[in-house]
Chain A
């Protein structure tokens, strides 16, 4: 799987509200509500302003949560990123 690069939503586009185990995300651009579970909110949080791919994301998440980067994490993150892109919450850079 190619490690595609994605860009986060512009600042202010998403309203993110944790509701226990679920997180509700309101997308002000599409007026759609998305309900996601971990690790989606953590991924969105780690995306930052610049474009990033699964490898970059793995490094950021590892730093944020004080973990080692495991190689098998990258394809999982790539899949999650493509799911977020399908929801319109991130876009291909």
Chain B
């Protein structure tokens, strides 16, 4: 393809090709601070393409392809090309990655240990990770967290943070505007704006860390903390993992170990400040 880019996020080397220059230029800006090695073989390929040649120019609509394809996925308008690229990267990893257990979870680190937060869209895991990552924590990832299948360590996947709706203003108020991508308004996922992780998070992205705490946040409602048993954490994480089934016994062993060695809690919180206070409190107890 005419427009292409290679990006390394954590252990994954992406190769992204596009029929249009704009999505690649937008990605190149967001990922300018990430390690570049164009000679390294790609682990995952993303293609952004027009279904018909004339659709590159006439009402351009971006289809997402690559090593893995979701049939019937609707294309996005070119103005949302950056979102298409990000969705493509997520898709290739969610469907194709086998070297680690992949959890749909955010993660941050402090004192050489990792905190993993798993939850559905809207649980606030991404916003909490982004806000913590602007404080005393190192952002490891806002969407995916990788678990080493044999050692059990947590590996970072710090792609550009995808801020959604209310989280955009909340985070934008605290960061240098140069770290924010363009506002993508009214996408199928709501308003989206990307945040480039801090340089220290990108520099340390290859350092594996022991997991010290597992949280299952739920945004909304009164502040509540509920200790979670190993069995329930196991069930929830099998649901949060996109490749648990494909990994077979290696995934079973890794997940068993993770829930046995890591204390887990379900937390509810009414706003980000309360959420962060809860996280800090539970971390202080877990990291003792």
Contact = CB atoms under 8 A, between A and B. Distances in A.
A24 B257 CA distance: 12
The size bracket of the interface on A is: 10 to 19
A22 interface: yes
Most chain B Cβ neighbours within 10 Å, of A22, A23, A33? A33
Given A15-B249, A17-B256, A19-B256, A35 B235 contact: yes
Interface in B235-260: 235, 238, 244-245, 248-249, 252-253, 256, 259-260
Nearest to B229: A20
A20 B260 CA distance: 9
A15 B250 CA distance: 12
B190 interface: no
A18 to B, nearest CB: 9
A22 B231 contact: yes
B229 A21 contact: yes
A22 B252 contact: no
Given A24-B234, A33-B238, A35-B235, A19 B248 contact: no
Contacts of B231: 19-24, 35
Nearest to A23: B231
B22 interface: no
Contacts of A21: 229, 231
Contacts of B191: none
Given A17-B256, A19-B259, A22-B234, A28 B229 contact: no
A78 to B, nearest CB: 26
Contacts of B248: 31
Interface string B35-60: 00000000000000000000000000
A19 B234 contact: yes
A23 B260 CA distance: 12
Contact of A22 (B230, B245, B253, B260): B230
A26 B235 CA distance: 13
Most chain B Cβ neighbours within 10 Å, of A19, A22, A26, A31? A19
Interface in A1-42: 15, 17, 19-24, 26, 28, 31, 33, 35
B249 A28 contact: yes
A21 B256 CA distance: 14
B230 A19 contact: yes
A81 to B, nearest CB: 23
Nearest to B257: A17
A23 B256 CA distance: 10
A20 B259 CA distance: 10
Contacts of B256: 17, 19, 24
Nearest to B249: A26
Contact of B260 (A15, A19, A28, A31): A19
Nearest to A37: B231
Contacts of A33: 238, 244, 252
B99 to A, nearest CB: 18
A35 B234 CA distance: 10
Contacts of A35: 231, 234-235
